[in-house]
Amino acid sequence: MRIMVDTNKCSGHARCAALAPHVYALDDQGYAVPFDGEVAPEDEKAAVAGVHACPERAITADRR
Ligand code: F3S
């Protein structure tokens, strides 16, 4: 599964990193670090929780 973080939409809610700290990282200001890549199978459930938890809809998941 591929995850894409649109940092232009991120407002620093930090819910993604709270739910999936192995997938999402925050910068020094608390905004999501740009990420566009594959997620390890064991992290997919947490990654999807992060997608749904973001109030800005800044993260999308692409299952293949
Ligand atoms: Fe940003 Fe959404 Fe995470 S606003 S810090 S991508 S929960």
> Could you give the ipTM of this predicted complex?
0.98
Q: What is the three-class DSSP state of 7?
A: coil
| 56 and 12 Cβ atoms separated by less than 8 Å | no
What is the residue extent of each domain of the chain? 2-62
Say what the pLDDT of residue 63 is. 84
Nearest CA to ligand 1 atom 1: 10
Outline where 1-64 has alpha helix (H): 15-19, 44-53
Q: Tell me how far the alpha carbon of residue 47 lies from the centroid of ligand 1, in angstroms.
A: 12
Say what the pLDDT of residue 62 is. 94
Indicate whether 64 pLDDT > 80: no
Q: Other CB atoms closer than 10 Å to residue 10's CB: what's the count?
A: 21
What are 5-57's pLDDT values in tens digits?
999 999 999 999 999 999 999 999 999 999 999 999 999 999 999 999 999 99
Q: Tell me how far the alpha carbon of residue 16 lies from the centroid of ligand 1, in angstroms.
A: 6
Give domain 2-62's CATH architecture: 2-Layer Sandwich (3.30)
Closest by Cα among 42, 50, 41 to 21: 50
